[in-house]
Amino acid sequence: MTLIVRPLLLALASACLVACQPSRPNVADGPSRTRLVLTPTAIAVLSSDHDSHGLPGAICMGGPFGRTALYLKFPNTWRARGPALRAFVTLSPRDGAARDEHPVAIEAWRVTSDWQPAGLQRWSDKPELAPPSARATTTNTPPREFRVDVTELVHFAEQNPERDFGFALLSPAGSGHGATFAAGMAGDVAPRLEVYLR
């Protein structure tokens, strides 16, 4: 009898250890979470196919646009509010963009030196990049927000404020129409950095 009951008790105890573990909360849930949404203080778009002139009307990634680099700087006011739990860069689709089901891969990297939009005109002008990095894929059929997890990049900026020069989002050339996002001009939605604080 003991030989049967002991394994049964051990199995029940093991099941309870798994089932009774508290679930990890969603970053957006709970009264202790603070969400900050920041818009860029500087933005520039570079293409390997053509030079850039002034602020972009749209952000075109992938497809026939050649290799594309989107440079973004955001205010660092979030640092004074507490440590970052999670962070995301979000781009909104631009109204009227061509529909396409081909996936567009976009990588986010840390920029290693200071830059200004006026100084980024040609592909050869782009500043150097370094880890940490992140990657996500999107399509624009149906049009949808693109969201990439940049938590590691924000943690780096948190620990190295003197080396915080923003983000670069890169996409390769590809087949199809690519993905077109709003740049924040003419009343559309600008790229943004969402930071969830502890």
The structural domains of the chain, ordered by start, are 30-197 (2.60.120)
Tens digits of pLDDT across the chain (198 residues): 433 333 333 333 333 333 333 333 355 444 457 899 999 999 999 988 877 655 667 888 887 767 899 999 999 888 888 889 999 999 998 876 666 677 888 999 999 999 999 999 889 999 999 999 999 988 777 777 899 999 999 999 999 999 999 999 999 887 777 888 888 877 788 999 999 998
Strand-pair category, 167-171 with 104-111: antiparallel
* CA dist 187 → 52, 144, 190 (Å): 21, 18, 9
Residue 32: DSSP 8-state? T
CA distance 127 to 120: 9
H or E element in which residue 60 lies? strand 58-61
pTM of the entire predicted model = 0.79
Do residues 34 and 77 touch, judged by C-beta distance below 8 A?
no
